[in-house]
Amino acid sequence: DAGVTQSPTHLIKTRGQHVTLRCSPISGHKSVSWYQQVLGQGPQFIFQYYEKEERGRGNFPDRFSARQFPNYSSELNVNALLLGDSALYLCASSPPGRSGEQYFGPGTRLTVT
């Protein structure tokens, strides 16, 4: 079975631009979570979506938004990019009834210049 997939793998953007990152969960998984991992740190929770509804939000500014589609894939959008947004963005999906288990994708490495 295919794991969690994310696109693109790498991305370079300029300050002030916006970016859209994409995630496809494991087949059958309805919950998707997004994390930001700055170099040298552990991942930090951004959003969780379940059945297309936001279920949780971390301590991130409103420049960060996300949505989930009927096929359970998800997009993370970041507006007005700052240098500090440079990070590895990880997506994780969870199986129904076992929301504590999270399976991560390979991540998208975003560099803001």
Partner 1 sequence: AQKITQTQPGMFVQEKEAVTLDCTYDTSDPSYGLFWYKQPSSGEMIFLIYQGSYDQQNATEGRYSLNFQKARKSANLVISASQLGDSAMYFCAMRERETGANNLFFGTGTRLTVIP
Query: What does the DSSP 8-state code read for residue 72?
Result: S
Q: Residue 91 or 112: which CB sits closer to partner 1?
A: 91
Position 13 contacts partner 1 (CB under 8 A): no
Which part of the chain contacts partner 1 (CB under 8 A), choosing from 21-29, 50-58, 60-68, 74-82? 50-58
Which part of the chain contacts partner 1 (CB under 8 A), choosing from 17-25, 35-43, 62-70, 77-85? 35-43
Strand, coil or helix: 75: strand
Position 42 contacts partner 1 (CB under 8 A): yes
Position 95 contacts partner 1 (CB under 8 A): no
Which part of the chain contacts partner 1 (CB under 8 A), choosing from 16-24, 65-73, 74-82, 84-92? 84-92
Among 48, 72, 81, 112, binds partner 1 (CB under 8 A): 48
The pairing of strands 108-112 and 10-13 is parallel
Say if residues 17 and 110 touch (Cβ distance below 8 Å): no
Say if residues 63 and 80 touch (Cβ distance below 8 Å): yes
Position 97 contacts partner 1 (CB under 8 A): no
Q: How many C-beta neighbours within 10 Å does residue 22 have?
A: 16
Q: How many C-beta neighbours within 10 Å does residue 10 have?
A: 9
